[in-house]
Structure 1
Amino acid sequence: EQKGEKARKKARRAKPTISMGDQGASGSVSQSSPVGSSAGTPGGRTKRQREEQMTPIVDLSEGDGGFVLPACLSDQKYFDKNPLQVPASEKAFILGASASARQKQLNEDVAAVIRLAETALVLNEGGPTHEVEKLAARNAKLEGTIVLMEGELIDLRGKQENYGQL
């Protein structure tokens, strides 16, 4: 009787195995346990809460299906939590290339980064605040013209009344 009880305790402590073959159409992975599911039993085990905060999920529905950039502006420490890595296939490609081919590719990449920086600087020079300032000055000038024209209109209407009574 004690052997049977020990075996049941041992089976309860065993971690559930994840079977990749049981993956359904929804993409979820089902778990199987030697003891069976204890979700419906009142004395079943409760799940342990995560101690670490989960990383935010990137919404891949944004955009037109192209490559989605990571959310680095909203999460300033994104690369602290997710260090950059080079895939093994890319490493093999880079290491397999000749020194002159690597130099040529590096030159092209550096030129592209410089063009990107130049574009960002030029576009940032004017910026939206500069455009707003220009438009505000133009609006002020136009408002001054409107005030002058309204004054002339009042003057002309007054003259019209005076000359209309003659």
Structure 2
Amino acid sequence: MYKNEEIQNLILGLGLGVKGEEFMKENLRYHKIIILTDADVDGAHIRTLLLTFFFRYQRALFDAGCIYVGVPPLFKVERGKHAQYCYDDADLKKITANFPANASYTIQRFKGLGEMMPEQLWETTMNPETRILKQLVVEDIAEANMTFSSLMGLV
């Protein structure tokens, strides 16, 4: 794992030190590590790989409260000049269910963050005032270990 160039760059960029070094939060370059991936299945897979690395090799980051996941929208619903962002199918159904029967609206499904206009990306996922961040904590180490093993196909 530690021989992988991307992992080495991640470790170096975050200031995590070298393999075997004791974790020291004050050496971190960033105290909020935000994982931001596409809202689709591929994005979820990439997020799982990153979280598995942090859980298996840098668990102290969870203990220190440093790991966050950014939540990008999956849909944009426009009705007239009004736009709303939906973060999952349930969100989309809830919003469109409140529209009158003959309401005219458009739904844009985002395939990925790269498809969003810079203003949309800022408004929905980057702006600290409007973005949704989930801080990840490990409450049950054994259960988390089983979950990661299952997600990685080890169980």
Higher Cα Rg, which structure: 1
**Structure with more strand by fraction:** 2
TM-score (norm 1): 0.18
TM-score (norm 2): 0.19
**Structure with more helix by fraction:** 1
